[in-house]
Structure 1
Amino acid sequence: MNLFLKFFFILPIAFCIFQFGAKSAPNVLFIAVDDLNDWVGFMGGYSGQVKTPNLDRLAKMGTAFTNAHTASPVCCPSRVAVLSGQLPTTSGIYSNRHWWKPNVPELVTIPAHFRNNGYKTVGAGKIFHHTEGNNPPESWDDFQALEFHDDTFARTRRDQYPFIPDQDAPKGFPFSGIELYSNEVDWAGLDKPESDFDDARAAQYGIDFLNSHRGSPFFLACGFFRPHMPWYFPKKYLDLYPLDEIEVPADLPEDLDDVPEAGKQLAMKKHVDLKKVRDAGKWATAIQHYLASISFMDAQLGQLLETLEKSPHAADTVIVLWSDHGWHLGEKQHWHKRTLWEETTRVPLIVVSPHLGESNQVCAQPTSLLDLFPTLIELCGLPVVADQAMDGVSLVPWLLYPAKHRTRNAVTVHELQHMSVRSNQYRYIRYIDGSEELYDLWGDPNEWDNLIGDPSFEPIRKDLSAELPTQFAPSAKSYTQFEFDPRPYTWTDKKTGAVVSGSR
């Protein structure tokens, strides 16, 4: 009987994939968003009202994975994980200080795999981590130059931004009125044309491509910077969020009392900024600007989607949207990312496949951004990447049956051995020193009550801890150990003299 049921479950999947494969290879619109947590309409993470009509519309076009989680709570390792299908513990890319290409030169990424299989690959904005040295030209037929019109003055390191001219901070900086930990950390609604902002430029690149491209299947990547700091956007978006309607996160002063020391250290890393914001009476103002940044990004997304829908590509383009990780705005006494709690790990993930699954579906099963690479391989009929282990699984079964039970949970790795597992109901955290946390998200959505030590939850702790990685790739070399030449796009190991090229 079990075999009989299995056959009738697998048969529809096989039929749909066959039907999909019978068509010409589908295009891909691959949309990345930076630092967007679950404060999105369809996810309901914000206690007030957030205006994201285009994200919500996109979610209704396909399947919204509402329990999706990042593989790492930091930009570079998160993006390498998505684009390679590998956890940091597999690739060794744990930090923003790691250039992936000279450390794992054999690693095949999503755009490279599509390009190797006949796709025209183009992109704009932040896909890999945005510093020079992270986006090898070999992955792309064309990629819009990253020029940072929004905050040129904050891009002063020549080893990371060799083509960005030196520029003094503008008059009136910081616009927030608070000096925080870097020039990048600021907020303001600005009085300049919307088309001058970097996210509008990235969207326009995608719009121009969709309007002009004909012929070969394409992989178009569009990466939005907002709501990553600085929260700069056209000031009209502030009108969407009157200050007296802003809701600040629920605050529990003793929140960290049952958190082990390693967790407290992560929470406190940027607590000084949270204290400055609160002491200045600008907590609600900061949240207002985060929300306005989201709505500004959402508007750029809307223009891109509208162009696709009016183009000849609409009927045969897979759309994927994801955020690299979330952001704390005071929850757990924290003001940043780089933690293993819900505010950092839970992210929007939407998959729209025109020939597979229904529209307006919601999958609440625990899902990892690591699943995107194998999903796109299956949806587009590409061969698997030879000799490259992947830590995710294809989401095709959940596009067809969103309620299908998933036995694998979502793993997040921070730095070398801080790790988290998120299931349907629980989150388990283990830090490098062996200390632990366990939360019941159904009864405790704020993760205020650490259940470690409660014997009734020991079986759950044991089961979830068994899903953590047990093998750890050595940490990659820091970018300071390489000499990077951006024009031929080569990295030279300062110690060995070995040269790695990322050119086409």
Structure 2
Amino acid sequence: MPTVFKKLLYTLITLFFLTSNLQCQGVQKQPNVLFISVDDLRTELGVYGHPVVKSPNMDAIASEGSVFTNHFVQVPTCGASRYALLTGMRPSKPDHLKNSAIENEISDKEETDVPESFIHHLKRNGYHTVGIGKISHSADGLVYGYEEPVSTKKELPHSWDELLFNAGKWATGWNAFFAYANGENRQSLKKQVKPYEAGEVNDQGYPDGLTTELAIAKLRELKDKEGPFFMGVGFFKPHLPFNAPKKYWDLYERDQIPVSPYPNIPENISLKSLHESGEFNGYALGDEHPNLSEPVSIDYAKKLGHAYLASISYIDAQIGLIWDELKVLGLDKNTIIVIWGDHGWHLGDQRVWGKHTLFENALNSTLIIRSPFEEHQNKKVETIVETVDIYPTIMEMCNTAISHEIDGESFRDSFIGSKPNTDQVAYSYYRNGISLRTDKYRLTKYFREEEPTIELYDHISDPYETKNIAQLNPNIIKGLMPLLEKGNTGLYKEN
């Protein structure tokens, strides 16, 4: 081939790739967002190093993106944690610590210049928004009590173009949330139920399977829709009751299920920092009823761990089905995927079964972000990030400016590798306390009469938070306390 033709061909090829790259950059300005919330999901996944759990789909998504090992929620209870997520704001008054936070602070409000949620902000900026399942606190996004008829009042009145849910044979969202395979639920059975079930059903025999069907059907519709979309998919499990189809239980050998490495009460603390596992014991037919005086047996701890892992594997399979469909439709090339656990959960750790503490097990939860536009495959990000930071991070990835003030700060740079950030801290709030997490320490201050009111844990030498060392380290307390006080947004005052 003559040299002149070689040069011409090279020029044409170069122009082709430059044009393609510019087109890709144009697409990047408005990627789709698939946001998956998973209730009560602590970092119990293979990608986090769990030795037994079967979570191949979430692990695979993480391998194409980033897994955040130090993600901490603001509040270790469902509604309040989601309020912080949606608004990008830390709690500043007692209502912000309640499951009713979204209902009380957002549901009855008129639309203003300040968006009610990051979803509302995306909607205002050209996104078609679809909610399926539990994204806000309510199981179906509507405001009504556990045993009341379904209402038409939305928890997020201005955020959704479409709000969808299939309650199946359970009839209401809250019945579905506490569902058993026979169509009954915790309420209908007056809490005379076990906190676990291995149902002889297929995936659609529990509500999360129906949510998956809805999500897949909606993705097929959205494929041909002009403009970007935000789809929120909220799964119930592994929230209590730990119910999953038996085939997911069958993935595990009971004797291989690990139990808590520290099922004892930490040294040098007040019992007021813990609780008596009331939510868990509300399932009246449980084999045992643990409290701070009486831990469960090893056999029962393994059974409950088995149930929790089976529930995770069930949800992992649902996420896998959605992920597969995204790829079949070609939407994976322009969709950011976020998998978020709304808080952690004590599996007998510190003698607690449940959330609702300011210990690591209740505050550290799953966060995985997969973006097709950044070079961050199979990265474990150790930077400390907070749930409130997710709002601005998504906005930055979607090239959407924020003109109002929020507490969160984008951590996008920390996982694309352009600016390592080692100075991050996380603040969490509950039980009349504020907890500060740094890369080495957890410092917690309680505003109560019961002593001690200060707890300090060294996560380098004591990752399971077994011993409060505050009294032995006054200089560390002195150095960290001003940083902790910065997180007091007016929520607490000295006695």
Short-chain TM bin: 0.7 to 0.9
Match of 1:426 among 441, 460, 463: 441
Q: Secondary structure at the match of 1:427?
A: strand
- How many residue pairs end up in the alignment? 436
For 1:112-161, what per-residue CA distance to the aligned partner results, in whole angstroms no more than 9, with x for missing partners?
111111111112111001253263353211121352756979749xxx99
Match of 2:354 in 1: 336
How far, CA to CA, are the matches of 2:173 and 2:214 in structure 1?
24
Q: Does 1:34 align with 2:50?
A: no
For 1:280-308, what per-residue CA distance to the aligned partner results, in whole angstroms no more than 9, with x for missing partners?
95221111101100000000011111111
- Relative to structure 1, the CA distance from residue 326 to residue 420 in structure 2 (aligned partners, 3 Å threshold; closer, same or farther) is same
Equivalent residues of 1:83, 1:373 under 8 A apart: yes
Larger displacement relative to structure 2 (193-202 or 372-381): 193-202
Q: Does 1:136 align with 2:156?
A: yes
How far, CA to CA, are the matches of 1:183 and 1:147 in structure 2?
22
Percent of aligned positions that are identical: 29
Match of 2:200 among 187, 191, 195: 191
State the Cα distance separating 1:342 from its structure 2 match. Answer: 1.0
Larger displacement relative to structure 2 (290-299 or 428-437): 428-437
- Pick the structure with greater CA Rg: 2
State the Cα distance separating 1:465 from its structure 2 match. Answer: 2.4
Match of 2:83 among 80, 85, 88: 80
Letter in 1 for 2:197: A
Map 1:167-182 onto structure 2 (within 5 A): 182=191
Letter in 2 for 1:263: S
- Relative to structure 1, the CA distance from residue 345 to residue 146 in structure 2 (aligned partners, 3 Å threshold; closer, same or farther) is farther
- Relative to structure 1, the CA distance from residue 473 to residue 423 in structure 2 (aligned partners, 3 Å threshold; closer, same or farther) is closer
For 1:310-340, what per-residue CA distance to the aligned partner results, in whole angstroms no more than 9, with x for missing partners?
2132211111111100111110111110001
For 1:80-116, what per-residue CA distance to the aligned partner results, in whole angstroms no more than 9, with x for missing partners?
1101111122794220134132466555212211111
How far, CA to CA, are the matches of 1:335 and 1:320 in structure 2?
27
For 1:391-449, what per-residue CA distance to the aligned partner results, in whole angstroms no more than 9, with x for missing partners?
1111221122188123230111126x421111112111111228111111121111001
State the Cα distance separating 1:268 from its structure 2 match. Answer: 6.0
Letter in 2 for 1:216: G
Match of 1:287 in 2: 305
State the Cα distance separating 1:36 from its structure 2 match. Answer: 0.5
Match of 1:69 in 2: 72
How far, CA to CA, are the matches of 1:292 and 1:252 in structure 2?
21
Letter in 2 for 1:196: G
Match of 2:484 among 418, 442, 465: 465
Letter in 1 for 2:358: L
How far, CA to CA, are the matches of 1:224 and 1:260 in structure 2?
35
Larger displacement relative to structure 2 (465-474 or 187-196): 465-474
TM superposition score normalised by structure 1? 0.78
Q: Does 1:216 align with 2:232?
A: no
Letter in 1 for 2:383: Q
State the Cα distance separating 1:70 from its structure 2 match. Answer: 0.7
Map 1:377-392 onto structure 2 (within 5 A): 377-384=395-402, 386-387=403-404, 389-392=405-408
Match of 1:494 in 2: none
* CA RMSD of superposed structures (Å): 3.2
Q: Does 1:147 align with 2:167?
A: yes
How far, CA to CA, are the matches of 2:436 and 2:109 in structure 1?
26
- Relative to structure 1, the CA distance from residue 421 to residue 448 in structure 2 (aligned partners, 3 Å threshold; closer, same or farther) is same
Structure 1 residues not aligned, in runs of 5+: 1-15, 162-166, 175-180, 475-504
Equivalent residues of 1:154, 1:183 under 8 A apart: no
Letter in 1 for 2:477: E
How far, CA to CA, are the matches of 1:287 and 1:51 in structure 2?
13
Larger displacement relative to structure 2 (56-65 or 98-107): 98-107
Map 1:42-441 onto structure 2 (within 5 A): 42-44=47-49, 46=50, 48-89=51-92, 92-98=95-101, 99=103, 100-102=105-107, 106=112, 108-130=116-138, 132-133=142-143, 135-145=155-165, 147=167, 149=169, 155=175, 182=191, 186-213=195-222, 214=224, 215-253=226-264, 255-264=265-274, 266=275, 273-275=289-291, 278=296, 281-384=299-402, 386-387=403-404, 389-401=405-417, 404-414=420-430, 417-433=432-448, 435-441=453-459
How far, CA to CA, are the matches of 1:130 and 1:232 in structure 2?
19
Equivalent residues of 1:150, 1:197 under 8 A apart: no
- Relative to structure 1, the CA distance from residue 271 to residue 143 in structure 2 (aligned partners, 3 Å threshold; closer, same or farther) is closer
Equivalent residues of 1:121, 1:142 under 8 A apart: yes
State the Cα distance separating 1:207 from its structure 2 match. Answer: 1.2
Equivalent residues of 1:437, 1:450 under 8 A apart: yes
How far, CA to CA, are the matches of 2:366 and 2:173 in structure 1?
30
How far, CA to CA, are the matches of 2:35 and 2:53 in structure 1?
24
- Relative to structure 1, the CA distance from residue 113 to residue 463 in structure 2 (aligned partners, 3 Å threshold; closer, same or farther) is same
State the Cα distance separating 1:246 from its structure 2 match. Answer: 1.6
Letter in 2 for 1:212: E
Structure 2 residues not aligned, in runs of 5+: 1-20, 144-153, 282-288
For 1:337-387, what per-residue CA distance to the aligned partner results, in whole angstroms no more than 9, with x for missing partners?
000111110011111221123211111011111111101111111121x44
Letter in 2 for 1:56: D
Equivalent residues of 1:412, 1:419 under 8 A apart: yes
State the Cα distance separating 1:168 from its structure 2 match. Answer: 5.9
Q: Secondary structure at the match of 1:42?
A: helix
How far, CA to CA, are the matches of 2:58 and 2:423 in structure 1?
28
Map 1:435-454 onto structure 2 (within 5 A): 435-454=453-472
- Relative to structure 1, the CA distance from residue 75 to residue 271 in structure 2 (aligned partners, 3 Å threshold; closer, same or farther) is closer
- Relative to structure 1, the CA distance from residue 42 to residue 412 in structure 2 (aligned partners, 3 Å threshold; closer, same or farther) is same
- Relative to structure 1, the CA distance from residue 467 to residue 328 in structure 2 (aligned partners, 3 Å threshold; closer, same or farther) is same
Q: Secondary structure at the match of 1:429?
A: strand
